[in-house]
Structure 1
């Protein structure tokens, strides 16, 4: 039996190309939430364990590293080849998330602004100000 998350099919069908960042990210969160690992998108694991760490804390840290690797793998597997090459050396899922948000969330915001402006200009041109 496969251990692959069945929800990951939505990532296969909706690969990140850039302009579809919002839709892709929503689908990614669905998959990561189902695995209970979405926290790694916002919380970077330490690069190494402190020398005096307890066994319990070390186990938690190793689990975080495993979750981060799993999330990073979902992210990279669901990107276009160009984006995979760009982010394959990125250390953790939180850094990938941050860079993608910087690259594409701003663009999406700009597109929304342009769309609202276009609608406003159209409304002004028609003189249609009523409800």
Structure 2
């Protein structure tokens, strides 16, 4: 056989195998879902392995799509992180995303069920509220004015005498 014929013969033999491997790898990547309570580091490293395997098979994913696939595979307790990541349009690589996710996971374990909020510097200048010279509160007018939603609850308990039916400001013992 001539070298060209040998190469063509090898392509015919192994091309079907590469396609099948690419199909299995992409299926595993897109169906990968992190279970709640498992470490985020192992999950993201496994997904990075799938992405690198696809790249070796001649099917590379761009960075943004790879990050989207990883973020979509996270459980519901990472929803706040994903929301902040997408709203702030953070451009990171997969290893940098892994570091951010590990930090967020550590913060979630420390804070319990508290939600974490990432704050960025505002691009526009905010309106400053002028203080009045007189004593009292400034009442907003127009769209910013708050409207009451109902009356005062009578089922409260007094903080002074611990009796139900009135509050401290109306307590006969306190007054």
Alignment TM-score > 0.5, same fold: no
Task: Report the TM range for the smaller structure's normalisation.
Answer: 0.3 to 0.5
Alignment TM-score, normalising by the size of structure 1: 0.36
* Structure having the larger proportion of residues in helix: 1
Q: Which has the higher contact order (CA 8 A, sep 6+)?
A: 1
Alignment TM-score, normalising by the size of structure 2: 0.29
